[in-house]
Amino acid sequence: MSENLEQSKVFNKSVIKKGIVAFIVITLIGFIAAFLYNDGLENISLWSQLQPSYLIIGLIFIFIDLYIGGLRNHIFIKEFVPGISQMVSIKANLANIFMGAVTPSQSGGGPAQWYIFLRNGAKLADIVGVSFYNWISTLIFFPISGALAIYILKDSIPDGFTMHLTRFGFSVFTTLLIVILLGLFAPKIIGGIIDGLAHLIGLVKSDWGTKLRTIGKNGIEKLKEYRTTYLGLIQRKPHLMIYSFLLTILLYLNKYALAYLFVYAFGMTPDFWSIIAVMAVSYLLLYFAPSPGGSGIAEVGITALLVPIIGNELAPSITLLHRSFLVFIPAILGAIVVLQQISKEAQ
């Protein structure tokens, strides 16, 4: 991807249309399955207990989510593009949410965010750095929150398939964190591992081993280059990484607490930290979900995790509200940002 990234490669209308259809269809199937399996339709009368004032409070949670999501990027991007508006960072975050919702494994979110920054004076290397810094915060946060969630829910969720998936997600994040830290502080170790793999593969087929060794060597050189660039900012302003991590904690606690707000809005008062833990586990599982925006998997998965805490009658409704406020509404706002960008490019 070059700095002259073409709009059509990021905001491809055909891809967006197909993604929207896939997202809506898979989401509907997921909700239908969640409601039918948990007798949610038979208990639709529970919605009469919902206190509307809490929905208004829920809108405040959306604002906080979008503000912090944009601020996490802004604290870094302004170091590379002095004077850039914070609204640009918020719009970039919205574009990320929308494109993440309509592309498999949320793969379109990052490029969409980068493109908004590119069109506002940033360089690609700087934008990748911004994502890299925040990704480190995310990689640190998820294993910690996942471990705490597993501890809190060990008596609530049976030690079956769901818990195995949770532990798998925890292992993936922990492994990624270790690899990133090694790449930053000990790239020679990564190089040694690649050489070892190349040697083993070379015993089977020498050409493959040689290619892997070449790829590894080029990758390590590029890694050292990025290491020098990205560590430079961290060394000059170490407080930015602390700030990023604190914002990451606030960002996800806000997402998790919104679920409790909706449960409370129905007149239930379950253990607060159990709900927080359930949402932490769900986000741990959804981060690498292959479907657009985690559709289908989110509706069924979050509902299944909530059932042991609040019962099957209410769980699908809480999932519906939570996804509506933190995915559907922000995605609609993100679609507006993307359509505006497409319109600008067409002029």
Distance from C-alpha of 159 to C-alpha of 146, rounded to nearest angstrom:
15
Counting Cα atoms < 13 Å in the Cβ hemisphere of 75 gives 21
Q: What is the pLDDT of residue 62?
A: 97
Q: What is the pLDDT of residue 164?
A: 65
Element of type H or E holding 37:
helix 13-37
- Tell me the pLDDT of the chain (347 aa) as tens digits: 444 444 556 677 788 888 899 999 999 999 998 888 877 666 677 788 888 899 999 999 999 999 999 999 999 999 989 999 999 999 999 999 999 999 888 888 888 998 899 988 888 878 888 888 888 898 889 888 888 888 888 777 655 656 666 666 777 777 777 777 766 666 666 666 666 676 677 666 667 667 766 766 666 666 666 666 667 777 788 899 999 999 999 999 999 999 999 999 998 898 999 999 999 988 888 887 788 888 988 999 899 889 889 988 889 999 999 999 999 999 999 999 988 888 877 66
3-state secondary structure of 39: coil
Asked whether the beta carbons of 133 and 278 are under 8 A apart, the reply is no
Asked whether the beta carbons of 267 and 156 are under 8 A apart, the reply is no
Locate tokens 């960002």: which residue?
A: 251
pTM of the model: 0.84
Counting Cα atoms < 13 Å in the Cβ hemisphere of 154 gives 6
Identify which of 293, 317, 290 has the alpha carbon closest to the alpha carbon of residue 306.
Answer: 317
**Crossing angle for the helix pair 86-101 and 109-118, to the nearest 10 degrees:** 150
Q: What is the pLDDT of residue 330?
A: 96
Identify which of 177, 183, 173, 178 has the alpha carbon closest to the alpha carbon of residue 226.
Answer: 183
Locate tokens 């190089």: which residue?
A: 191
Q: What is the pLDDT of residue 186?
A: 66
Distance from C-alpha of 132 to C-alpha of 121, rounded to nearest angstrom:
19
Q: What is the pLDDT of residue 226?
A: 61
How far from 22 is each of 19, 111, 291, 307, CA to CA, in Å?
5, 20, 9, 27
Q: What is the pLDDT of residue 250?
A: 97
How many C-beta neighbours within 10 Å does residue 100 have? 23
Q: What is the pLDDT of residue 45?
A: 72
Locate tokens 């991007």: which residue?
A: 77
Enter the tokens of residue 18. Answer: 């197909």
Q: What is the pLDDT of residue 130?
A: 86
Element of type H or E holding 61:
helix 53-80
Q: What is the pLDDT of residue 341?
A: 84
Enter the tokens of residue 23. Answer: 């997202």
Task: Show me where the domains of the chain are located.
Answer: 7-158+253-346
Greatest extent of the chain over all pairs of C-alpha atoms, in Å: 69
